[in-house]
């Protein structure tokens, strides 16, 4: 009995935390914009918001239905408009708002209340929602929350029950689950974060969903005006996502197929006649991370005090060395060590004395003189270009030969078919930045995250 009570309290607390983390409700204009893209209301088509919050979508959908069919009977109303919500008070608020609309359309308060109660199920849609096709229009703004941030009890349940490709984020789980509840000819119209459309870790989700559905409409939304917080919650910052309005329909009626391939909301399918992917003319690599400075990366004074032989010191640069598009003189040095060759005593002494600077999980159990990411095979005899991984523009910076770029900046060297001058010119073109900006995950304040995979695919024109 006590155990049951404890489990119930634990689950209630988890739901409270989940709701607090995910209740970013959709602003009315966005709801109207999304509903206008659906075949709703239409005959016997059934609509559901599977995470309905206080009912932003359901209220608007119900109003449209009542305007179209003022005399519709109560049983049909509750059959055609449905919602799921895990949080008790949010579900109650949703029912209250639906009942209010029904009263405005001539229902008595008591029948309005019972219709609203029949419309909204308070429960966990991911665990208890229908598993067979049930609806023709699935709408809403599914919760987005990485599994790592989910309360343990809920995460354990989802991990036990849901397919692995849908378990990175609540949004992925919802998209997968919503697709399964769709009747033939059905459509999903939602507000969602843009990430799942192009990130590598959602490739399998896209593939599974794409077996049946494709993208019919995709449009960016302004994060600052798309959401509001429930009255009783901390207002705070808007969510840290880049939202899109998205309509998925049966493959045969969709404009863009969904597959493992990324879909970039801002990318125009421009022609790149005569262009080649950067990877064909350059080696694009991630600069190594050697741990905190003071261990494998030292300044001149530390190197001298530790008596590290100068021939083992390689000058290094990172993005801190880039100011106004120019590279400043290196002031730090990487200690060069080799696989299977024990370094001189002075190097070992220095490394052993400073190994605490490296997290235990990153330390080597054998050959402790090797850094967490090696650079033995990097060709430093030739100059390279460096592009910061997090940037607000795509501006390559020249790195002279003999200098090692660090800390996961993107390092580019010519692969023979193009000179470094040509590569620098190609990467500095406005079209290159437009192409990357349209595809790189957006960060805050105009910054974007550049990856080696993305840059390797950049179309470059080299005569």
Ligand X SMILES: C[S@@+](CC[C@H](N)C(=O)[O-])C[C@H]1O[C@@H](n2cnc3c(N)ncnc32)[C@H](O)[C@@H]1O
Interacting residues toward ligand X by CB under 6 A: 18-19, 22-26, 49, 51-53, 56-57, 84-87, 90, 124-126, 140-141, 143
CB of 403 to ligand X, least distance (A): 48
Beta carbon nearer to ligand X, 162 or 267 = 162
Beta carbon nearer to ligand X, 53 or 343 = 53
Beta carbon nearer to ligand X, 22 or 451 = 22
Give the side-chain half-sphere CA count within 13 A for 337. Answer: 26
Beta carbon nearer to ligand X, 24 or 369 = 24
Beta carbon nearer to ligand X, 52 or 380 = 52
Is the distance from CB of 214 to CB of 460 less than 8 angstroms? Answer: no
Residue nearest to ligand X (CB): 53
CB of 79 to ligand X, least distance (A): 20
Beta carbon nearer to ligand X, 27 or 406 = 27
Six token digits for residue 125: 């849609």
């Amino acid at each position: 009995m006590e155990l049951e009570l404890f489990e119930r309290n634990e689950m209630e607390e988890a739901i409270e935390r989940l709701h607090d983390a995910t209740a970013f409700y959709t602003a009315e204009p966005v709801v109207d914009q999304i509903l206008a893209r659906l075949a709703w209301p239409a005959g016997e088509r059934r609509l559901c918001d599977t995470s309905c919050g206080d009912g932003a979508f359901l209220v608007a959908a119900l109003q449209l239905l009542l305007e179209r069919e003022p005399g519709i009977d109560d049983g049909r109303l509750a059959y055609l408009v449905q919602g799921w919500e895990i949080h008790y008070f949010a579900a109650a608020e949703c029912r209250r708002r639906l009942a209010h609309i029904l009263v405005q359309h001539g229902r008595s308060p008591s029948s309005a209340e019972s219709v609203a109660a029949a419309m909204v199920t308070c429960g966990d849609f991911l665990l208890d929602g229908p598993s067979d096709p049930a609806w023709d229009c699935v709408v809403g703004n599914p919760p987005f929350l990485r599994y790592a941030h989910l309360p343990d009890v809920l995460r354990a349940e989802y991990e036990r029950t849901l397919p692995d490709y849908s378990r990175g984020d609540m949004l992925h789980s919802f998209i997968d689950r919503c697709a399964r509840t769709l009747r033939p000819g059905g459509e999903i119209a939602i507000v969602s974060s843009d990430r799942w459309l192009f990130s590598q870790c959602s490739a399998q989700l896209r593939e599974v969903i794409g077996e049946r559905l494709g993208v019919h409409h995709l449009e960016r939304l302004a994060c600052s005006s798309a959401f509001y917080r429930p009255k009783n919650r901390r207002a705070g910052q808007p969510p840290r996502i880049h939202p899109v309005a998205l309509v998925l329909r049966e493959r045969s009626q969709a404009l863009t197929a969904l597959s493992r391939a990324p879909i970039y909301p801002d990318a125009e399918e421009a022609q790149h006649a005569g262009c080649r992917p950067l990877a064909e003319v350059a080696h694009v690599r991630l600069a190594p991370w050697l741990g905190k400075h003071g261990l494998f990366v030292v300044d001149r004074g530390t190197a001298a005090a530790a008596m590290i032989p100068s021939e083992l010191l390689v000058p290094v640069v990172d993005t801190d060395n880039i100011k106004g598009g120019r590279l400043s003189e290196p002031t730090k040095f990487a200690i060069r060590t080799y696989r299977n060759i024990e370094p001189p005593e002075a190097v070992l002494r220095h490394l052993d004395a400073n190994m605490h600077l490296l997290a235990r999980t990153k330390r080597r159990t054998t050959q402790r003189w090797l850094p967490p990411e090696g650079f033995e095979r990097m060709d430093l005899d030739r100059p390279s270009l460096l592009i910061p991984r997090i940037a607000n523009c795509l501006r390559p910076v020249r790195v002279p030969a003999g200098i090692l770029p660090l800390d996961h900046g993107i390092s580019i060297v010519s692969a023979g078919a193009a000179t470094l001058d040509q590569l620098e010119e190609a990467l500095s073109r406005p079209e290159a930045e437009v192409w990357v900006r349209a595809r790189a995950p957006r960060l805050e304040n105009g910054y974007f995250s550049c990856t080696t995979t993305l840059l390797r695919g950049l179309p470059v024109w080299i005569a």
